[in-house]
A and B are shown apart, each in its own frame.
Chain A
Amino acid sequence: MSEDGYVIEADNLTKYFEMGDIEVQALRGVSFKIKRGEVVSIMGPSGSGKSTLMNILGCLDVPTSGEYILDGESVSHLSDDQLSDIRNRKVGFVFQSFNLLPRISALQNVILPLRYAGTNKLRERATKALTEVGLGDRMNHRPNELSGGQQQRVAIARALITEPAIIMADEPTGNLDSRSGEEIMELLLNLNKESGTTLIIVTHSPDVAAMTGRVIRLRDGLLEGAL
């Protein structure tokens, strides 16, 4: 944990992609900091570099240049397997399309990250996480036996279980009707309040963004206002 209370420090991040002969500049120097326990939303139109930034913040990808410090650890130059470990310990993902494994129960889905972490008391901890998101009675159902809102709750429980430094939510309400969407947002915000986990939400929706403490807007690979 960094001394100054920042969980994310991004310094002049750039990301270039080679698409055939053309070099696409998805990020062109983005710097910001996020405090521990903050709730931040990232907004921007398609092609603004929003997804690229989220991938880098979630350690799914590394920046072309610049420095990214997550929870006090520099992660800009790690190998694939080292990135896997960082993701496992420090990042919890919530995806727009839930991304649960369809063949196994909710409980087993929640246990999955702990399997890769090699910890004990899998079942106990997964049960606790599922109870926290309000699914204590549906643990042994498979994802296709659950509603969209319930599936997203399972995904949130899976993100929580490793007690990560940040939770990255990519359009968490995008596939849900408005009522379930509100419930999911409520749940995420409550978890943030109770456990102090930093919450980063990538969204198109102004309503969702309005519920967060701070909005980072991207346009053409740069922070809006930085132009």
Chain B
Amino acid sequence: MNLWQHFIESMESLMGNKLRSGLTILGIVIGVGSVISMLAIGQGATASVTSSIQSIGSNLLYVSQGGGQGVVNPKPLTLLDAQALIDPVNAPDVLAAVGTLQSRATVSAAGATTNASVVATTADYVTVRSLTVQEGEFLTTTQVSGRSASVVLGSGIADTLFGTETGLVGQTIRVQNIPFIIVGVLKSMGGGGLGSQDNQIIIPLTTAQSRLIRRGDSTRIDQILVQATAAGTVSAAQEEVTNILRTRHATRVGADDFNILSQQDLLSTATSVTGTLTLLLGGIGGISLVVGGIGIMNIMLVSVTERTREIGLRKALGAHKWDIRLQFLMESSVLSVFGGLIGVAVAAGVSKVVANIAASSGTVFNPVIGLDSVLLATLFSAAVGLFFGMYQANRASNLEPVEALRYE
């Protein structure tokens, strides 16, 4: 018999046992499918978390007031502190530094009222936080220094107050009953895990200091956002910022009256968490692939035992050892190859469904099906099929026809 006839015969025999063939293939499908989709989901999660952290702004340091024990006469952060950080000599790795005041306020317009978080800051805030303005423009340096009553709306606030995100520039809203003129509307940042940035309004720092947010000392600010020149210079920038602030605040050694938190800390924590997650998911998928492989072995074992008489008969009718061996090898290969192919398709389907579910709940999440995981899973399943198939096929081909025919 030639290979093609063997293929036809194995198809006939597999089709003759549809339920069993189907269940065996199902084992491989689940194995291959889960490995691929789990890895895809893991990689998608990593990408999604990383991008949501990076969407806050890249290479950021957060400087806030505070400190440990032993702080004597702590000084608040001021706008001058922020400006002092922009120093090409003492802080070459700092690209930008903006001071912010944060508060919550009642915001109303055209009869609609809502509560929003108010960020009072300077013009560089838009680049430091990587914000995008979809209409109008961000606060300008002139507006900030002139204590202008200008406001930039987050897209969520625009939706809540006006039911639209367009055509709002020039309109007036009231913040704590003080009228502000809208100069721009921000683009939506998406879910962005750490507090929605879409529900904020941004006003000039000086305006807030004089009219809206009272902090006792009128030069005081809540936080300084420092942007390093590159990802590699974040720790150098942190060092420089620490030194400058220590000098300015004349703190005692080991008793800083401020805290610095880097975005890199957040990112590396998150990456290590999602990396572990991917490994865990892949491991679970891998276990099901092994179980699927054992399923093939199991079925081929049963198949050879159950068809001992058939093997004897085929030998009696003139089958050579190779004919028998090829027949069983062909059957296990067909099972594992079909299972692998369907598994890849199932994984693609699962990833799509997961992406859709994530999208419908407002999270941008794209599972990434890597070619490496597809190859890994399908090659492994084919190897499992061939290996265990080969063992059973040899067992079958070495059966004595007399013994096999007598087998009950």
- Residues of chain A touching chain B, judged by Cβ–Cβ distance below 8 Å, are 55, 58, 60-61, 80-81, 84-85, 87-89, 93, 95, 99, 101-104, 108, 112-113, 115-118, 158, 162
Contact = CB atoms under 8 A, between A and B. Distances in A.
Interface string B317-342: 11111010000000000000000000
Contacts, number: 58
Given A81-B321, A115-B5, A87 B16 contact: no
A80 B321 contact: yes
29 contacts: A60-B316, A80-B321, A81-B321, A84-B318, A84-B319, A84-B320, A85-B320, A87-B316, A87-B317, A87-B318, A88-B318, A93-B317, A99-B405, A103-B17, A104-B12, A104-B16, A108-B12, A112-B317, A113-B317, A113-B318, A115-B1, A115-B5, A115-B9, A116-B1, A116-B314, A116-B319, A116-B320, A116-B323, A162-B318
B220 interface: no
Contact of A103 (B13, B316, B320, B321): B13
A85 to B, nearest CB: 7
Contacts of B12: 103-104, 108
Contacts of B318: 84-85, 87-89, 113, 116-117, 162
Nearest to A162: B318
Interface residues of B, number: 23
A89 B318 CA distance: 8
Nearest to A170: B405
Contacts of B315: 84, 87
A93 B323 contact: no
Contact of A88 (B5, B9, B317, B405): B317
B286 interface: no
Interface of B: 1, 5, 9, 12-13, 16-17, 309-310, 313-321, 323, 400-402, 405
A99 B315 CA distance: 12
Contacts of A113: 317-318
A95 B316 CA distance: 11
A163 to B, nearest CB: 13
Nearest to A115: B1
Contacts of B313: 99, 101
A85 B322 CA distance: 13
Given A95-B405, A103-B16, A103-B17, A58 B317 contact: no
Nearest to B404: A60
B314 A112 contact: yes
A211 to B, nearest CB: 25
Nearest to B307: A101
Contacts of A93: 316-317
A95 B319 CA distance: 17
A60 B1 contact: no
Given A84-B315, A104-B16, A116-B1, A55 B402 contact: yes
Nearest to A118: B1
Nearest to B397: A80
Nearest to A52: B402
What 6 A-B pairs have minimum CB-CB distances, sorted nearest first? A88-B318, A103-B16, A116-B318, A113-B317, A81-B320, A99-B313
